């Protein structure tokens, strides 16, 4: 088979494969590339030595059976017998479910998670959004310090297990989205710098030197990450990718990396004949991220909208610290703005940032399904000192109201695993670094960070303690019990209602009509013929819906009166979804 590697600064490159060595030659017409033939079958171990140095794993390794520092292994994707062709559903109309393989089950593997996919199909979600799967140090971690962005973490089950997971999901009608990290790679097991200018010291990110997207050599680096993205979609038949922290991609070229990537994914979708999509994580509140390239945007198909999370969280918990400050000043107004204009910060002043922030959404041109909304995410839970879920901060009624606000709103909803039954387990930050110095630096850095915000050191779990990961694993025994079962039934009801009622999937932000009472702590909005009334106060309130109620479609608590005059009396900490005649 053909082996090749980009190593523009090397004078000699040697392939080490299954105990044999072979000198590679410079590839004709491909500056900086080396190539050669060798006998190798699926599973064969190999690596490259540069200028007689140590044998390193392949930067484009498809498998790292012994971890990031070990030899690479050949993967023959043609050997897997696929049972399905793909889910075939794009982002419009989707309900996403964010899932971390290492804590979704105690076993922490793709096969163990796949055994519970039937639960998610029954719940009604349309896509599973997997947190990063690339090889990382040790066994357990969040995945954002991964390396080898073409490979699957071996303790999760490796490449074959991911294919089995995707096949099982597609058989149930579920799409699969993968979270990928292009803005940095983990410090441990990261050998890219030995091969070429994959990083640049002309810019820094919170995690170190930036990936080289615009300095000399960046053509190949861009191709590396675009190729990785396409490989996930083609070789594993994934339906989409979530791009981590795209605001940290340092790129000054006229044609941005994100435009290049989105064009390549669109071309692959046309080639394969099925929808593929990219969702970017960004804190810039800039609609240009999801504006088509031909309209002057960057061409992604969706983006996380943390403004919805912050508005809902501030409204149901009353928290005011950090970025919640901007939303807690008038929480009902903040909810109303995110429901009707997408972003809360759209050029307005942010007290948290001490400056103006964001850019307005052109509601006539941008459908709301391009914005992904959630009440909980891995970031918003795990980046709290103790990793508390919303269920630890608010009672069942307020949790039900939060779910209704997202699942009946105009944006694409996303759940975080366990949210649907108000899981009591926390989701904390955990690592398994094999480098003692790095482990200690991470531990001290996290304690120092939270100490600056007033948290005692004892309140911050040790990321390296195996118990931190164990505490973060879901406890499925809760699902059929008491308020957990009631919450699960509520989520199923809301998701089914969204699927059945086209008005709730209407992506027109301008069509959403909202009324609210800041002092009364209630908000009501119209989605076509559907009316939603949410009472976050501790007393019953009469909420005007504008038109008489034909019937109540769903309610967290019993509603007094039929709303014949267009007014519903909603119990405390409760919500009602009704239909107008």
pLDDT digits (tens, 9 = 90+) for 339-352: 999 999 999 999 99
Does an H or E element contain 537, and which? none
- Is residue 279 included in any domain, yes or no? no
pLDDT at 452: 63
pLDDT at 388 exceeding the cut of 90: yes
319 token code pair:
């928290």
- Is residue 328 included in any domain, yes or no? no
pLDDT at 147: 93
Tell me the per-residue pLDDT of 125-160, one tens digit each, with 9 for 90 and over.
999 999 999 999 999 999 999 999 999 999 999 999
Task: Write out the DSSP string of 509-570.
Answer: GGG-EEEEETTTTEEEEEETTEEEEEE-SSS-EEEE-SS--SEEEEESSPPBS--TTSEEEE
Identify whether 281 is a catalytic site residue.
yes
Q: Where are the beta strands (DSSP E) in 316-400?
A: 346-350, 355-358, 371-373
Lowest pLDDT segment from 185-189, 389-393, 394-398, 452-456: 452-456
- Is residue 14 included in any domain, yes or no? yes
Which sign, positive or negative, has the C-alpha torsion 549, 552, 556, 557?
positive
Mean pLDDT of 288-313: 97
- Is residue 75 included in any domain, yes or no? yes
pLDDT at 565 exceeding the cut of 90: no
287 token code pair:
């609609």
pLDDT at 7: 98
- Is residue 350 included in any domain, yes or no? no
Answer with the one of 59, 79, 99 that is the final residue of a domain: 79
Q: d(Cα 556, Cα 407) in Å, to the nearest integer? A: 14
pLDDT at 559 exceeding the cut of 90: no
Query: First-to-last CA distance in the chain?
Result: 68
pLDDT at 433 exceeding the cut of 80: yes
Q: Where are the beta strands (DSSP E) in 420-471?
A: none
pLDDT at 458 exceeding the cut of 70: no
pLDDT at 508 exceeding the cut of 90: yes
- Please check whether residue 331 is in contact with residue 257, taking contact to mean a CB–CB distance below 8 angstroms: no
153 token code pair:
């973490």
CATH of the domain at 553: 2.60.40.1180
Determine the structural domain holding residue 37 and report its residue range. Answer: 2-79
> Looking at 214, 244, 260, 493, which residue is catalytic?
244
Enumerate the β-bridge partners of residue 177: 129, 240
- Is residue 375 included in any domain, yes or no? no
Q: Are strands 20-23 and 13-17 parallel, antiparallel or unpaired?
A: antiparallel
CATH of the domain at 69: 2.60.40.10
Enumerate residues 6+ apart whose C-beta is below 8 A from 29.
none
Q: What is the mean pLDDT of the chain?
A: 95
> Looking at 98, 251, 281, 346, which residue is catalytic?
281
Answer with the one of 79, 107, 136 that is the final residue of a domain: 79
Phi and psi (nearest 5°) for 308? -65, -45
- Is residue 564 included in any domain, yes or no? yes
Residues annotated within the binding site are: 242-247, 306-310, 378-383
* pLDDT bucket at 107, cuts 50 / 70 / 90: very high
Tell me the per-residue pLDDT of 321-345, one tens digit each, with 9 for 90 and over.
999 999 999 999 999 999 999 999 9
Alpha carbon 375 to its chain centroid, in Å, reads: 13
Tell me the per-residue pLDDT of 525-538, one tens digit each, with 9 for 90 and over.
999 999 999 999 99
Tell me the per-residue pLDDT of 184-224, one tens digit each, with 9 for 90 and over.
998 889 999 999 999 998 877 877 788 999 999 999 999 99
Answer with the one of 21, 45, 79 that is the final residue of a domain: 79
- Is residue 161 included in any domain, yes or no? no
- Residue that the structure tokens 């929808």 belong to: 275
Residues annotated within the binding site for substrate are: 242-247, 306-310, 378-383
pLDDT at 476 exceeding the cut of 90: yes
Q: pTM of the entire structure? A: 0.96
pLDDT at 31 exceeding the cut of 70: yes
Q: How many domains does the chain have?
A: 2
Strand order in the sheet with 574-579: 513-517, 522-527, 530-535, 574-579, 551-555
pLDDT at 21: 96
pLDDT at 561 exceeding the cut of 90: no
* pLDDT bucket at 293, cuts 50 / 70 / 90: very high
Identify whether 565 is a catalytic site residue.
no
Q: What percent of the chain has pLDDT over 70?
A: 98
pLDDT at 263: 98
Q: d(Cα 257, Cα 250) in Å, to the nearest integer? A: 9
pLDDT at 450: 77
Enumerate residues 6+ apart whose C-beta is below 8 A from 213.
221, 222, 249, 250, 251, 253, 257
* pLDDT bucket at 89, cuts 50 / 70 / 90: confident
């Amino acid at each position: 088979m053909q082996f090749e590697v980009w190593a523009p600064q090397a004078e000699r490159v040697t392939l080490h494969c299954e105990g044999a060595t072979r000198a590679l030659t410079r590839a004709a017409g491909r500056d900086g590339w080396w190539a050669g033939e060798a006998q190798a079958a699926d599973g064969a171990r190999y690596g490259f030595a540069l200028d007689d140095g140590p044998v390193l794993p392949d930067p484009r390794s498809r498998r790292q059976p012994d971890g990031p520092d070990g030899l690479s292994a050949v993967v023959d994707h043609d050997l897997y017998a696929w049972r399905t062709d793909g889910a075939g559903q794009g982002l419009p109309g989707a309900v996403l479910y964010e899932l971390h393989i290492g804590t979704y089950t105690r076993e922490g593997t793709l096969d163990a998670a796949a055994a519970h996919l039937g639960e998610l199909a029954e719940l009604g979600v349309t896509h599973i959004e997997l947190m990063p799967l690339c090889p990382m140090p040790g066994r357990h971690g969040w995945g954002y310090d991964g390396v080898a962005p073409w490979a699957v973490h071996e303790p999760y089950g490796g490449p074959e297990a991911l294919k089995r997971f995707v096949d099982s999901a597609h058989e149930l009608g579920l799409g699969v989205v993968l979270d990928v990290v292009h803005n940095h790679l983990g410090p441990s097991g990261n050998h890219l710098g030995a091969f070429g200018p994959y990083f640049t010291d002309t810019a820094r990110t919170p995690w170190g030197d930036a990936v080289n997207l615009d300095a000399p050599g960046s053509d190949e680096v861009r191709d590396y990450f675009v190729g990785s993205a396409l490989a996930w979609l083609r070789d594993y038949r994934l339906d989409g990718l979530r791009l981590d922290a795209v605001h940290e991609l340092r790129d000054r070229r006229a044609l941005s990396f994100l435009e290049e990537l989105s064009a390549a994914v669109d071309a692959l979708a046309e080639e394969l004949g099925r929808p593929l999509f990219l969702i970017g994580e960004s804190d810039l509140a800039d609609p240009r991220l999801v504006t088509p390239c031909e309209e002057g945007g960057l061409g992604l198909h969706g983006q996380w909208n943390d403004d919805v999370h912050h508005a809902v969280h501030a409204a149901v918990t009353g928290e005011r610290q950090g970025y919640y400050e901007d939303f807690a000043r008038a929480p009902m107004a903040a909810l109303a703005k995110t429901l009707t204009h997408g972003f809360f910060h759209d050029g307005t002043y942010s007290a948290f940032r001490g400056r103006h922030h964001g850019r307005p959404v052109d509601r006539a041109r941008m459908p709301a399904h391009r914005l992904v909304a959630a009440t909980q995410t891995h970031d918003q839970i795990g980046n709290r000192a103790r990793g508390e879920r919303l269920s630890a901060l608010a009672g069942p009624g307020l949790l039900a109201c939060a779910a209704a606000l997202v699942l009946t709103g105009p944006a694409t909803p996303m759940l975080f695993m366990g949210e649907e039954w108000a899981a009591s387990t926390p989701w904390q930050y955990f690592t398994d670094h094999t480098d003692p110095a790095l482990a200690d630096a991470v531990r001290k850095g996290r304690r120092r960070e939270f100490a600056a915000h007033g948290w005692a050191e004892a309140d911050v779990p040790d990321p390296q303690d195996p118990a931190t990961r164990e505490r973060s694993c879901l406890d499925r025994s809760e699902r059929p019990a008491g308020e957990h079962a009631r919450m699960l039934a509520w989520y199923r009801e809301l998701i089914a209602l969204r699927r059945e009622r086209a008005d709730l999937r209407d992506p027109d932000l301008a069509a959403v009509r909202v009324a609210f009472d800041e002092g009364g702590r209630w908000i009501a909005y119209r989605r076509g013929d559907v009316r939603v009334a949410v009472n976050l106060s501790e007393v019953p309130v009469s909420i005007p819906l504008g038109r008489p109620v034909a019937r109540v479609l769903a309610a967290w608590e019993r509603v007094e009166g039929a709303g014949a005059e267009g007014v519903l009396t909603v119990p405390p900490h409760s919500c009602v979804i009704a239909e107008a005649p």
